Amino acid sequence: MRSVDPVARISVGLVALTLFLILIAEFAFSVFRDDVELAQRARKTVAEDLAIQASVLIQRGDLDAVQRTFDAIVEREGDILSVGVRNSSDVLLVQTAEHKRHWIPIQNGKSSITRIAVPISTGKGDWGNVEVSFRAPIPTTLPGWVGQPLVLFTLVVVLGGFLVFSWYMRRVLDRLDPARALPDRVRKALDTLTEGVIVIDPTGRIVLANEAFRALHGEERLSYSTVASEIPWLKEALGRPAADHPWRIAMRNGTKVAGEVLEITRVLNDPRKVKLGASPITDARGALRGCLVSFTDVTELDRKNTALEKALSELEVSRRKIATQNEELKQLANIDPLTGCMNRRAFLEAADALIRGARNGLTPVSCVMADLDRFKSFNDDLGHAVGDQVLQQVARVLKAALRPTDLLCRYGGEEFCIILPDLNADHAATVAERMRSRVEEQAGPGLRRRPHLTVTVSLGLSALEFGATTLSALIDEADRALYAAKQAGRNRLIRYDDLPQPRGAAARS
């Protein structure tokens, strides 16, 4: 029932009270006429007059005159359906058209509102009766009922009273609007606020609304009967049942509700973003008196935040792009473009740091130098394109045999250098032998254009445990072992500790 306009509820109540007073007046003073009783009296008089006329004419023996009189009466009087004269022997001597259909014998000699029988007397006593049939005075159809004066009166009181009372009550409530009781200086002060403000009573109806609130959606005027939760644009912006609206929650829980941001759609202007806050209003005894609801326009702030977020997003994308480009530049600076292995400069930096850390932590590190056997013949006999493919395939096989923590470098032309952290010479020899066998098994068959080509490598191994204290010394020892492998027939691994005596590095074929 709360959804019904209070003015309409009051108007219905006033109409009901008016009808109640009219019924009391009718019961006490009979202010309305009884149409049935008046009709009863009038019809009895008409029937008696007809009986007198019929009695005079019958005594003269002029039944034709009686017939003519009755026909004229039925034709002239709309309420009379038929008239007949019946003698004491129950014989109809005179009757108008359809008298037999309209006339129903009277029970116990008592006439009714629609059937009246009046005795005809002569000098010799009762001669017979004049029978008169009348139409029913009470309507039997809806249009007939509506046309009744009492019904028309009731409809006028109900409909007219509702319209008049509604108009009058709206004027009264408008005049009694609590906002009008506020001094002009208070209302003007509220209108100077940039944020929208409304004051709501405990039933949820707006008591006061300043100009900023009306400007949110262009509401020109809000009456005292307006329910805040039923304002269409505000209801749409909240998008949930009225019981969950912030001011309802604030009044129900007795706590402030703040921080909710609404988007208000306006017909002629751009949508507005507002931040809503609701605070319950209580009196000195703590009783709830209403709620103060504020609407702070944060549209410009939201737009700036959106623009800032967009700029930050673009900046992040640019940062990631730069980081990617830097990584690509780093790869280009550190990676050999042909084999995808580390180039010599990057390798020496990483390996030197690893050697210093291993020496301080007393952890093992091994180094393997690998050189392709008879690589010059590939370039001379098959061309440099095939030579490049051989290098790429060998690099691919070596990578597959190593761990992610191992360092693989294209040290020069067809020579590779490998650092194996955390591995002593014995373990490193196992890894090196695995690399050698895999190159022999996979490198040649892996060449698409020369699948039957035989590719092998010679390897030399050294480790910190053999006495080297620097990276250059460790590489030099592995290089000497590699030279020995070349001299011993190629396609083999030789450890530095297996050399009979140190030898200087020499050019290898």
The amino acid at residue 235 is: K
Looking at every residue in the chain, the average pLDDT score rounds to 83
Edge-first strand listing for the sheet containing 257-264: 206-209, 196-200, 288-297, 272-282, 257-264
Task: Give the pLDDT mean for 224-245.
Answer: 86
Let me know: does 228 contact 200? Beta carbons within 8 Å. Answer: yes
Rounded distance between C-alpha atoms, residue 57 and residue 84, angstroms: 14
Rounded distance between C-alpha atoms, residue 9 and residue 11, angstroms: 5
Q: What is the pLDDT of residues 457-504, one digit of tens each?
A: 999 999 999 989 899 999 999 999 999 999 999 999 999 999 985 544
The angle subtended at Cα 501 by Cα 434 and Cα 412, nearest 5°, is 50
Q: What is the pLDDT of residues 49-69, one digit of tens each?
A: 888 888 888 888 788 888 888
Rounded distance between C-alpha atoms, residue 478 and residue 458, angstroms: 11
Which pLDDT score is estimated for 350?
92
pLDDT over threshold 60, residue 507? no
CATH of 335-498, one of 3.40.50.720, 3.30.70.270, 3.40.50.300, 3.30.420.40: 3.30.70.270
Rounded distance between C-alpha atoms, residue 107 and residue 387, angstroms: 138
CATH 3.90.700.10 at 178-297, yes or no: no
Rounded distance between C-alpha atoms, residue 210 and residue 224, angstroms: 13
Lookup result for tokens 């509700």: 257
Let me know: does 145 contact 79? Beta carbons within 8 Å. Answer: no
Rounded distance between C-alpha atoms, residue 431 and residue 370, angstroms: 12
Which pLDDT score is estimated for 124?
65
Let me know: does 104 contact 110? Beta carbons within 8 Å. Answer: no
The amino acid at residue 111 is: S
Which pLDDT score is estimated for 292?
92
pLDDT over threshold 80, residue 322? yes
Beta bridge partners of residue 129, listed in sequence order: 86, 119
pTM to 2 decimal places: 0.42
The amino acid at residue 376 is: K
Rounded distance between C-alpha atoms, residue 247 and residue 253, angstroms: 10
Q: Which of 94-108, 138-152, 465-479 has the highest mean predicted lDDT (pLDDT)?
A: 465-479
Q: Report the percent of the chain where pLDDT is more than 90.
A: 27
Pairing of strands 457-463, 493-495: parallel
- Residue 5 pLDDT grade (very low, low, confident, very high; cuts 50, 70, 90): low
With CA atoms as reference, report the closest residue to 493 among 506, 501, 483, 504: 483
Instruction: Tell me the CB-side half-sphere exposure of residue 383, using CA atoms within 13 A.
Output: 5
The amino acid at residue 467 is: G
pLDDT over threshold 90, residue 167? no
Token duo for residue 491: 């396609």
Rounded distance between C-alpha atoms, residue 308 and residue 323, angstroms: 22
Rounded distance between C-alpha atoms, residue 129 and residue 119, angstroms: 4
Rounded distance between C-alpha atoms, residue 82 and residue 102, angstroms: 7
**What region does 426 belong to: left with phi over 0, alpha with psi -120 to 50, or beta?**
alpha
Q: Please tell me if the domain spanning 35-134 has the same topology as the one spanning 178-297.
A: yes
Token duo for residue 213: 């609130």
Q: Report the percent of the chain where pLDDT is more than 70.
A: 86
Residue 508's contacts (CB-CB under 8 Å, 6 or more residues apart) are: 371, 482, 483, 486
Task: Give the pLDDT mean for 201-228.
Answer: 78
- Residue 348 pLDDT grade (very low, low, confident, very high; cuts 50, 70, 90): very high
Token duo for residue 330: 């780093």
pLDDT over threshold 90, residue 160? no
**DSSP per-residue letters across 175-220:** HT-HHHHS-HHHHHHHHT-SSEEEEE-TTSBEEEE-HHHHHHHT--
Rounded distance between C-alpha atoms, residue 158 and residue 154, angstroms: 6
**Crossing angle (nearest 10°) for helices 344-361 and 471-487:** 110
Domain layout of the chain by residue ranges: 35-134, 178-297, 335-498
Task: Pick the more confident residue, 38 or 129.
Answer: 129
With CA atoms as reference, report the closest residue to 404 among 417, 416, 421, 392: 421
The angle subtended at Cα 290 by Cα 287 and Cα 293, nearest 5°, is 140
- Containing H/E element for 394? helix 384-400
Q: State the virtual CA torsion across 388, 394, 395, 398 in degrees, nearest 10.
A: 180
- Residue 250 pLDDT grade (very low, low, confident, very high; cuts 50, 70, 90): very high
76: which DSSP letter? H
Going from the C-alpha of 57 to that of each of 70, 94, 122, 123, the distances in angstroms are 12, 12, 11, 14
Beta bridge partners of residue 419, listed in sequence order: 367, 407
CATH number belonging to domain 35-134: 3.30.450.20
- Residue 509 pLDDT grade (very low, low, confident, very high; cuts 50, 70, 90): very low
Task: Give the pLDDT mean for 191-198.
Answer: 84
